[in-house]
């Protein structure tokens, strides 16, 4: 397939997913709650929301600082202005095409700092591995702090609906036969193409896992690994504080405390992963979590849109400014930091 056609199809697909999830997050709002939800948007304390946005921007500043550290073991450096601009532009691009932001970030480093694209991409992969590990740590912290609540969430929103669906299928022989046929065809396909699958697993995926391992190994070559770990943890602490501070924009969420904020952050992050910039998915998931904790319907609907919206606006404005100003900021060649070869 033509690469341009493929990119356009991916963009359309991701946009369609986002639109569908937005529709899914709002179509079940009862008519009686529509006006009260609008009022919740009007009643929110936007000064607190602005403070929340500033904290999240600080997290991006720390990410840019950390990225510069990751360049050192591979013999390169990047000025802070270009590092921060690349991070913000990358986040902005991710709202359109997931994971394309990482490529655009490396493109900025290659263009303005003469850092090889592949080398920059290796540092971004390392970042993502570290972030994934910290997300797993966050999961276990949340699980330890709220085992009973998370069990209730899983039962209410996963196990009960799944059980109801399975019961319905068991009573419908046609659907049951269709599912069994699909399952048999899937198993048959795995058997028929087992050699091809094995080749893929040992080739592309094996190479990807090796890259992950190499990325983690590069951390030991940092001049200050302790500082890198501090930066990584600080980024997630700031993410959490940004969300927790935003809780105080409504009286109904201000009383929830730290534990529910952990749950909203954890499950909301999953929403950000599954759709472009989290649009639709974040709101859908966060609303259900807030309802579980007893937040009234209109606030449970409004809060995720406000918390997500302020991040979106901040990234769109700052990322857009960075995109426009980067050529001007780098117009003076003497002002640039040359890539180190040592």
The DSSP line for 165-222 is HHHHHHT-HHHHHHHHHHHHHHHHHHHHTHHHHHHHIIIIIHHHHHHHHHHHHHHTT-
Helix/strand/coil (H, E, C) string of 294-340? CCCHHHHHHHHHHHHHHHHHHHHHHHHHHHHHHHHHCCCHHHCCCCC
Decide if 85 contacts 108 (C-beta within 8 A). yes
Q: How many CB atoms lie within 10 A of CB 84?
A: 21
d(CA 255, CA 247): 8
Q: How confident is the model at residue 55, as a pLDDT?
A: 96
> What digits encode the pLDDT tens for the residues 309-331?
899 899 989 999 999 999 888 88
Residue that the structure tokens 């199809």 belong to: 9
Start-to-end Cα distance in the chain: 42
Q: What is the pTM of this model?
A: 0.75
Domain that holds residue 231: 35-335
Query: What is the crossing angle of helices 117-145 and 46-71, to 10°?
Result: 130
- If one compares 188 and 14, the residue with the highest pLDDT of the two is 188
Which of 93-102, 148-157, 239-248, 264-273 is predicted least confidently? Answer: 148-157
Residue 20 inside a domain? The answer is: no
Residue 225 inside a domain? The answer is: yes
Residue 96 inside a domain? The answer is: yes
Decide if 283 contacts 66 (C-beta within 8 A). no
Residue 82 inside a domain? The answer is: yes
pLDDT mean over 69-85 = 87
- Of 8, 193, 215, the C-alpha closest to 100 is 8
Which of 10-14, 170-174, 312-316 is predicted least confidently? Answer: 10-14
Residue 5 inside a domain? The answer is: no
Domain count, the chain: 1
Residue 27 inside a domain? The answer is: no
pLDDT mean over 272-300 = 83
Q: What is the pLDDT confidence band of residue 339, given thresholds at 50, 70 and 90?
A: very low
Residue 291 inside a domain? The answer is: yes
> What digits encode the pLDDT tens for the residues 45-71?
999 999 999 999 999 999 999 998 888
Q: What is the pLDDT confidence band of residue 334, given thresholds at 50, 70 and 90?
A: very low
Residue 183 inside a domain? The answer is: yes
Decide if 342 contacts 75 (C-beta within 8 A). yes
């Amino acid at each position: 397939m033509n690469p341009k056609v493929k990119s356009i199809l991916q963009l359309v697909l991701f946009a369609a997913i986002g639109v569908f999830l937005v529709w899914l997050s709002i179509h079940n709002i009862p008519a009686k709650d529509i006006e009260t939800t609008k009022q919740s948007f009007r009643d929110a304390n936007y000064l607190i929301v602005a403070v929340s946005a500033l904290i999240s921007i600080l997290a991006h500043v720390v990410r840019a600082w950390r990225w510069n550290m990751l360049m050192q073991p591979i013999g390169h450096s990047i000025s802070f202005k270009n590092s921060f601009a690349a991070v913000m532009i990358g986040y902005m691009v991710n709202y359109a095409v997931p994971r394309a932001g990482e490529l655009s970030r490396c493109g900025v480093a290659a263009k303005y700092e003469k850092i090889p694209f592949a080398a920059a991409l290796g540092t971004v992969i390392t970042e993502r591995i570290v972030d994934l590990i910290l997300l797993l740590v966050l999961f276990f912290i949340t699980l330890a702090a709220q085992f009973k609540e998370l069990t209730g969430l899983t039962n209410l929103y996963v196990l009960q609906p799944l059980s109801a669906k399975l019961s319905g299928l068991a009573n419908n022989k046609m659907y049951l036969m269709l599912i069994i046929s699909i399952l048999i065809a899937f198993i048959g396909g795995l058997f028929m193409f087992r050699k091809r699958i094995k080749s893929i697993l040992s080739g592309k995926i094996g190479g990807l896992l090796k890259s992950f391992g190499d990325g983690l190994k590069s951390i030991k070559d940092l001049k200050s690994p302790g500082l890198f770990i501090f930066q990584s943890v600080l980024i997630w602490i700031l993410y959490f504080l940004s969300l927790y501070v935003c809780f105080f924009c409504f009286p109904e969420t201000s009383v929830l405390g730290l534990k529910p904020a952990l749950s909203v952050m954890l499950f909301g992050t999953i929403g950000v992963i599954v759709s472009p910039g989290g649009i639709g998915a974040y709101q859908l998931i966060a609303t259900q979590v807030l309802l579980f904790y007893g937040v009234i319907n209109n606030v449970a609907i409004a809060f995720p849109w406000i918390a997500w919206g302020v991040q979106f606006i901040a990234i769109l404005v700052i990322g857009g400014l960075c995109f426009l100003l980067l050529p001007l900021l780098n117009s003076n060649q003497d002002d640039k930091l040359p890539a180190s070869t040592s």
